[in-house]
Amino acid sequence: MPPVNALDTPAMPDIPVLDDVVTPGDGKPVAPKNGTAPAAPARSEVRPELLSEMLTERIAALTDRLLRDASNDIQDLLMDKIWEKLRVEIPAIVAEALGKNGHNR
């Protein structure tokens, strides 16, 4: 599966926010605590299959991004360890090779 660009994910549908009127199961708007009359409730339905598809796409994009970031972090860590080992071991290898060829320090 090719990497999914976070910008390619579809926009989320309108989701009620805290100041929107919420309609309980009886269909009557809930009056706000400040005593003002509630606005007419906005009805927006999200089809389950559409919601499932949108969530799947967004979760897949997030997973791809997190895995890519983790892979880069692991690669950086491994490269640092390799260079550290080379810095430690190369002088001994060079000294041994020079010593075996009659070049003592």
Number of domains making up the chain: 1
pLDDT at 44 over 90: no
Band of residue 74 on the pLDDT scale cut at 50, 70, 90: very high
Tell me which amino acid residue 50 is: L
Q: Is 50 within a domain?
A: yes
Quick check: is 54 in a domain? yes
* Structure-token pair, residue 9: 């994910």
Residue 30: DSSP 8-state: P
What span, in angstroms and rounded, lies between the C-alpha atoms of 92 and 105? 13
Digit-coded pLDDT (tens) for 1-31:
455 555 555 666 666 556 655 566 666 655 6
User: What domain range includes position 15?
Assistant: 6-100
